[in-house]
């Protein structure tokens, strides 16, 4: 297993280098001059040139990339042209908020989708299967921003059960910043009230974001389980008189989950990159809103930082998926 993990880690290096090259090239080839925009409409040519020298945009692209890449190795992700703030300082604030939202959404999708798909396959072409397929079709067809608005109207405005938007009440003092995850920071501070407030604010946006992966995981788990149930070794275990529950949870579910792992890994990255709609509807202070504001102002350094950070997280999540593959299927470790 150790050789398997090391082999995957070695493959991550060219992926991350290629990602940094791609992000740098796209951000610098797009039309527009962020330095001139940051200097303002009344700035003189001398002021624009001085600002370009300050941020190094007057140098050639290879020199700029080398400076950027060497800075990444030192933990320096550049500075915003508009705010002059280090990008890494902003990412330390905004990235944990998005990660907390995405992890909560994926946890909902996995914890509900895998049992729902397994149950649907067991009762194939019966009412639980029809109900699961109908719910999956409706969930994957519903736009997330529209669902978010419906959830706000129903559970926040009409019933008053959950907060309308935001990550934490403005009138309350949040727990001390340690990890950036409010739920984890509240648990580290042993503050039950802060934990409850953070979970209440997390419920609606996480549920709105979870429906699409939930529907896909359910359908993938259903199809994989039906296929596994028809395998010869499952028929042999039934003929030997093994308990049905043992066959389902020890043999069938374990083998059927292999195909669902791929979907889970892909959806994690997709939710990271596509969180801006849910963050906008629920006023969630994550990297989606941060990147959108930077794109509008042509502030490319934060955009590069957000893209690279999401890429790193996505690559690490897929490494975790590869490890889980190896645990579920020992044959994968030999590949």
Domain borders along the chain are 87-334
> pLDDT of 277-308, one tens digit each?
888 888 888 888 888 888 777 777 888 888 88
305: closest CA among 90, 57, 35?
90
Q: What is the mean pLDDT of residues 108-137?
A: 85
pLDDT at 89 over 70: yes
Q: How far is CA 311 from CA 5, 15, 253, 306, 318, in A?
A: 19, 9, 30, 8, 11
Tell me, what's the pLDDT at 333?
Answer: 54
* Cβ neighbourhood burial of 175 (10 Å; 0-12, 13-18, 19+): buried
pLDDT at 331 over 70: no
pLDDT at 1 over 70: no
Decide: 101 and 205 in contact? Cβ < 8 Å: yes
- Say how far apart CA 133 and CA 213 lie, in whole Å: 14
Decide: 271 and 280 in contact? Cβ < 8 Å: no
Name every residue whose Cβ is closer than 8 Å to that of residue 262 and which is 6 or more positions away in sequence.
321
> pLDDT of 199-226, one tens digit each?
998 888 988 888 888 888 888 888 888 8
Check: pTM over 0.85? Answer yes or no.
no
SS3 (DSSP) at 174: coil
CATH fold group of domain 87-334? MetI-like fold (1.10.3720)
Return the higher-pLDDT residue of 200 and 3.
200
Tell me, what's the pLDDT at 33?
Answer: 65
> pLDDT of 104-117, one tens digit each?
998 998 898 888 88
pLDDT at 194 over 80: yes
Return the higher-pLDDT residue of 55 and 94.
94
> Averaging pLDDT over each range in 17-31, 56-70, 88-102, 266-280, which range is the top one?
88-102
In SS3 terms, 85-140 reads as CEHHHHHHHHHHHHHHHHHHHHHHHHHHHHHHHHHHHHCCCCHHHHHHHHHHHHHH
pLDDT at 332 over 70: no
Q: What percent of the chain has pLDDT over 70?
A: 89
> pLDDT of 42-78, one tens digit each?
666 776 777 677 666 667 778 878 887 887 878 778 7
- Say how far apart CA 87 and CA 115 lie, in whole Å: 41
Decide: 98 and 107 in contact? Cβ < 8 Å: no
When pLDDT is cut at 50, 70 and 90, the band that residue 329 belongs to is low
pLDDT at 135 over 80: yes
Tell me, what's the pLDDT at 299?
Answer: 78
- Say how far apart CA 219 and CA 297 lie, in whole Å: 41
Unique residue bearing structure tokens 């990008």: 87
**Helix and strand numbers, DSSP H then E, in the chain:** 15, 0
Return the higher-pLDDT residue of 275 and 57.
275
In SS3 terms, 60-82 reads as CHHHHHHHHHHHHHCCCCCECCC
Average pLDDT for the chain: 80
């Amino acid at each position: 297993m150790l050789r398997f993990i090391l082999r995957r880690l070695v493959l991550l290096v060219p992926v991350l280098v290629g990602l940094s090259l791609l992000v740098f090239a796209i951000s610098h080839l797009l039309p527009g001059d962020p330095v001139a925009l940051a200097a303002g409409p009344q700035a003189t040519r001398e002021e624009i040139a001085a600002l370009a020298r300050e941020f190094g945009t007057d140098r050639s692209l290879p020199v700029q990339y080398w400076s950027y890449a060497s800075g990444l190795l030192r933990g320096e992700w550049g500075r915003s042209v508009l705010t002059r703030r280090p990008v890494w300082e902003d990412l330390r604030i905004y990235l944990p908020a998005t990660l907390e939202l995405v992890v909560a959404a994926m946890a909902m999708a996995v914890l509900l989708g895998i049992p729902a798909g397994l149950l649907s396959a067991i009762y194939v072409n019966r009412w639980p299967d029809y109900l699961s397929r109908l719910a999956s079709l409706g969930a994957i067809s519903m736009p997330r921003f529209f669902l978010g608005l419906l959830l706000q109207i129903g559970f926040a405005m009409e019933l008053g059960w959950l907060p309308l938007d935001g990550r934490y009440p403005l009138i309350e003092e949040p727990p001390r910043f340690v990890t950036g995850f409010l739920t984890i920071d509240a648990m580290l501070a042993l503050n039950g009230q802060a934990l409850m407030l953070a979970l209440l604010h997390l419920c609606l946006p996480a549920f709105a974001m979870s429906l699409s992966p939930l529907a896909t995981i359910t359908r993938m788990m259903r199809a994989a389980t039906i296929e596994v149930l028809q395998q010869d070794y499952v028929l042999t275990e039934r003929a030997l008189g093994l308990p049905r529950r043992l066959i389902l949870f020890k043999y069938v579910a374990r083998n059927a989950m292999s195909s669902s792992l791929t979907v889970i890994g892909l959806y994690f990255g997709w939710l990271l990159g596509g969180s801006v709609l849910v963050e906008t509807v629920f006023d969630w202070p994550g990297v989606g809103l941060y990147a959108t504001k930077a794109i509008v102002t042509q502030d490319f350094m934060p955009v590069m930082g957000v893209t690279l950070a999401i890429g790193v997280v996505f690559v690490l999540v897929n490494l975790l998926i590869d490890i889980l593959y190896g645990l579920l299927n020992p044959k994968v470790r030999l590949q």
